[in-house]
Amino acid sequence: MIDTVKNAEATPDQEQPYKELGLKDDEYARIKEILKRRPTDAELAMYSVMWSEHCSYKSSKVHLKYFGDTTTDEMRGKMLAGIGENAGVVDVGDGWAVTFKVESHNHPSYVEPYQGAATGVGGIVRDILAMGARPLAVMDPLRFGRPDAEDTKRVLPGIVAGVGGYGNCLGLPNIGGEVVFDESYQGNPLVNALCVGAMRVEDLHLAHASGTGNKVILYGARTGLDGIGGVSVLASETFDDTAGKRKKLPSVQVGDPFTEKVLIECSLELFEKGLVAGIQDLGGAGLSCATSELASAGDSGMHVRLDRVPLRATGMTPAEILSSESQERMCAVVEPANVEAFMEVCAKWDVIATEIGEVTEGDRLVITYHDEVVVDVPPRTVAHEGPVYHRPIQRPADQDELQANTPDSLPRPGRDELLALVKTMAASPNLASKKWVTQQYDRYVRGGTVLAQPSDSGMIRIDEETGRGVALSTDCNGRYTLLDPYEGAKLALAEAYRNVAATGATPVAVTNCLNFGSPEDPAVMWQFEQAVKGLADGCAELGIPVTGGNVSFYNQTGSTAILPTPVVGVLGVIDDVRRRIPTGIGAEAGETLLLLGETHDEFGGSEWAHHVHGHLGGRPPKVDLAREKLLGEILVAGSRDGMVSAAHDLSEGGLAQALVETCLIGEVGARVFPEGDLFTSLFSESAGRVLVAVPRTEEQRFTDMCTARRLPWRKIGVVDPESNALEVQGLGELPLDELREAWEGTLPALFD
């Protein structure tokens, strides 16, 4: 029997499995208080999933407020939509608006790597689509356990194939991301997915709008039993006898990228023809989320008829229909006069579209099933007024010990070992070429890709006439963040900012995906709080706003949390992509290599300490955001005036790794003459540094500009097209063939 509102009123004392659905006693009590009766099964399903950590941000909300508090009006200047929307939107000039966001799909990807990763891509793409934008490109920051662990051989190839399988078939270029290995991600890989899209500024009005009498149309794939997750507890209660025989489909959703591609084209045609008054994608929490969000975005109520939802399974209960996370679905609000035209566009694309309800007077979300009311709630209480927790925060007891355990006492290589170390480091899994991964991703589709991996940033052309485009980079070093979450988050921001500037683009906005352990652990909450503060303060210092983000908690195995991993994505704008700065050297004859910034003895959390000594302790490198800003301005000026022919940011692995990569990517040799202590000079990970190549004719002009603006610089070498080797003066030379074998051989050896 279906649990109706009437039934709930008649049976106030019926036991309900709210605990199994993840609700606490007081949360369940609050639902009863809101409804002034016990919830129906369907209502319980809605509240439990919408009040989950994933959907309600109940542990993070009080901290995330800090992003808003630290964003000044000036920073907001170019922001057209910010936190709270499906994705942030930024005005990038020439009448274009760009929207971008990162989201996590960590847990599903561990359970079922291929589908977990695939649907992670699908979900973020629909978020961008729901802003009214055409999705343009994706990026995937990924983190795995030990590269040689047996389980990594299951998880990594599956996740990579899933990202590629979905994105390639969907037709979006994959332009960057990260692949990082650390033991802490062994039982909890991180799969973050970023999507960027663009639209004309005047077209950004789709997210809101209501109006009594408007129709609610569900379109896209049918609704099935995949991705029902915890709500299956209700199903087994309702269908006691048949529970064993029926359903039990995987709780990880199954993606269909073809349907998503068609959904994108269909939606864009609907937007273009002005047939959509409001739109919401269906992602986590499915219809529960979409209907309650749409209803609370407007100023009226909504009536939804669940029996009209096209299903792909028989006998689904209202709770299941509401909770299903079947992919590739969208929900639109359409004016009655436009319904016919809306249906015609959907028919053209062979997309199933069904009128499932309408906007009503009043302020209730009423959901019926064969004319019986199964949900009758104030929608804001579902979507926005979930519980808010002030979780206990405690700086970990061993944080001092961790910081005191500096890398200073680690044995350092002798002078005669340095050259070999350059090669060893280049072949280490974290620094090695990620070509094995990225060559499974289409980076060319749609013809707008100007830069993609292994460049510092991905770059996409938005306007073919003017050449306007955007650059994007995502970064985070979880080891730095463990040692100092506040500074570590700033370092992640600094690196992403620097990567964008290194391609000649001006950084304008920030998004994030905050991956942490359990919020119930006070030490994790301390890391989280510190990282949020660091990131927000950093953004304020750089003058660019956080436009959106995502929080993923409970990333841990047993009681061991992952390294705190606040992945930071920075968006930059470039007025003409033809002046982009490439990463590889050798594009022009006779280039000088300059190192911008200062190098200090900084090895805390470094790749050298990790790879050579398995050591993690001390303090991360110092971060100076004013310096990063200056560096960015110099790079953009260098690009604008054609003074810089290549640039590569220095990060993990230091100068040595930057040299190796810039030579191998450019397929040309170089002679360098580092100064001071050679080990520090080659392997320190001091922030705020970029290796640039300038044509000899521009050297004077460029270095004069650096000097005038007080940016430390040093000439450290020359590009040598004849040599086919990286020569470090006083140490010897490394043939490029040998370096390439080291750099490119690691991942195939592990995963082929």
Partner 1 sequence: MRVGVITFPGSLDDVDAQRAVRYADGEAVPLWHGDHDLKGVDAVVVPGGFSYGDYLRCGAIARFAPVMQEVIEAANKGMPVLGICNGFQILAEAHLLPGALTRNHKLHFVCRDQWLAVENNTTAWTTRYDRNAEILVPLKSGEGGYQADEDTLKELEDNGRVVFRYVGDNPNGSRNNIAGITNARGNVVGLMPHPEHAIDALTGPTDDGLGMFLSLLDTVVKA
599 binds partner 1 (CB under 8 A): no
Distance linking the first and last C-alpha atoms of the chain: 53
The region that residue 584 occupies, defined by phi over 0 for left and psi between -120 and 50 for alpha, beta otherwise, is beta
CA 663 to chain centre: 30
256 binds partner 1 (CB under 8 A): yes
Give the one residue of 48, 86, 168, 455 binding partner 1; rule: CB under 8 A: 168
510: which strand partners? Answer: 546, 570
328 binds partner 1 (CB under 8 A): no
446 binds partner 1 (CB under 8 A): yes
545 binds partner 1 (CB under 8 A): no
Say if residue 415 is exposed, middle or buried (CB neighbours under 10 Å; 0-12, 13-18, 19+). exposed
Locate the DSSP E strands across 665-737: 669-672, 690-695, 713-720, 725-728, 732-735
439 binds partner 1 (CB under 8 A): yes
CB of 108 to partner 1, least distance (A): 21
State both tokens at 349: 């694309």
449 binds partner 1 (CB under 8 A): yes
For the question of residue 54 being annotated catalytic, the response is yes
Instruction: Catalytic residue, from 54, 63, 303, 611: name it.
Output: 54
78 binds partner 1 (CB under 8 A): no
Asked if 486 contacts 533 with a C-beta cutoff of 8 angstroms, the reply is yes
445 binds partner 1 (CB under 8 A): yes
CB of 748 to partner 1, least distance (A): 10
CB of 135 to partner 1, least distance (A): 13
Cα–Cα dist 77/731, whole Å: 52
465 binds partner 1 (CB under 8 A): no
261 binds partner 1 (CB under 8 A): yes
Contacts of 100 (CB under 8 A, 6+ apart): 87, 88, 90, 128, 194, 195, 196, 197, 472, 509, 511, 547, 569, 571
18 binds partner 1 (CB under 8 A): no
Q: Which stretch binds partner 1 (CB under 8 A): 122-130, 259-267, 369-377, 644-652?
A: 259-267
Q: How far is CA 635 from CA 78, 402, 573, 623, 706, in A?
A: 22, 36, 13, 18, 10
One-letter amino acid for residue 263 of the chain: L
579 binds partner 1 (CB under 8 A): no
The residue among 731, 604, 611 whose CA lies nearest residue 659 is 731
Give how many residues touch partner 1 by CB under 8 A. Answer: 31
Cα–Cα dist 219/464, whole Å: 32
Instruction: Name the percent of the chain in helix, strand, coil, to the closest 5.
Output: 40, 25, 35
Instruction: Catalytic residue, from 63, 105, 610, 648: name it.
Output: 105
CB of 446 to partner 1, least distance (A): 6
Q: Please, which residue, 262 or 739, has the CB nearer to partner 1?
A: 262
- Three-state secondary structure readout of 480-500: HHHHCHHHHHHHHHHHHHHHH
C-alpha atoms less than 13 angstroms from C-alpha of 96 in its C-beta half-sphere: 22
One-letter amino acid for residue 115 of the chain: Q
308 binds partner 1 (CB under 8 A): no
Q: Which stretch binds partner 1 (CB under 8 A): 234-242, 320-328, 375-383, 446-454?
A: 446-454
461 binds partner 1 (CB under 8 A): yes
For the question of residue 610 being annotated catalytic, the response is no
418 binds partner 1 (CB under 8 A): no
Give the one residue of 244, 414, 447, 676 binding partner 1; rule: CB under 8 A: 447
153 binds partner 1 (CB under 8 A): no
750 binds partner 1 (CB under 8 A): no
Helix (H, G, I), strand (E, B) or coil at 197: strand
578 binds partner 1 (CB under 8 A): yes
Asked if 250 contacts 226 with a C-beta cutoff of 8 angstroms, the reply is yes
Work out whether strand 215-220 and strand 329-334 pair parallel, antiparallel, or are unpaired. antiparallel
CB of 161 to partner 1, least distance (A): 7
Q: Which stretch binds partner 1 (CB under 8 A): 253-261, 274-282, 286-294, 485-493?
A: 253-261
Give the one residue of 139, 450, 531, 568 binding partner 1; rule: CB under 8 A: 450
Give the one residue of 88, 145, 448, 538 binding partner 1; rule: CB under 8 A: 448
Q: Which stretch binds partner 1 (CB under 8 A): 176-184, 434-442, 657-665, 701-709?
A: 434-442
Contacts of 27 (CB under 8 A, 6+ apart): 18, 47, 51, 387
312 binds partner 1 (CB under 8 A): no
Q: Which stretch binds partner 1 (CB under 8 A): 41-49, 159-167, 509-517, 601-609?
A: 159-167
Site for partner 1 in 349-378 (CB under 8 A): 349-350
224 binds partner 1 (CB under 8 A): no
Bond into 157 cis (ω within 30): no
Q: Please, which residue, 59 or 449, has the CB nearer to partner 1?
A: 449
Helix (H, G, I), strand (E, B) or coil at 661: helix
The residue among 413, 419, 503 whose CA lies nearest residue 674 is 419
740 binds partner 1 (CB under 8 A): no
C-alpha atoms less than 13 angstroms from C-alpha of 688 in its C-beta half-sphere: 20
Give the one residue of 177, 257, 618, 669 binding partner 1; rule: CB under 8 A: 257
296 binds partner 1 (CB under 8 A): no
- The H or E element containing residue 169 is helix 150-170
Q: Which stretch binds partner 1 (CB under 8 A): 272-280, 319-327, 390-398, 436-444?
A: 436-444
Which residues contact partner 1 by CB under 8 A? 161, 164-165, 168-169, 171, 256-259, 261-262, 349-350, 438-450, 461, 577-578, 752
Please identify every residue annotated as catalytic.
Answer: 54, 105
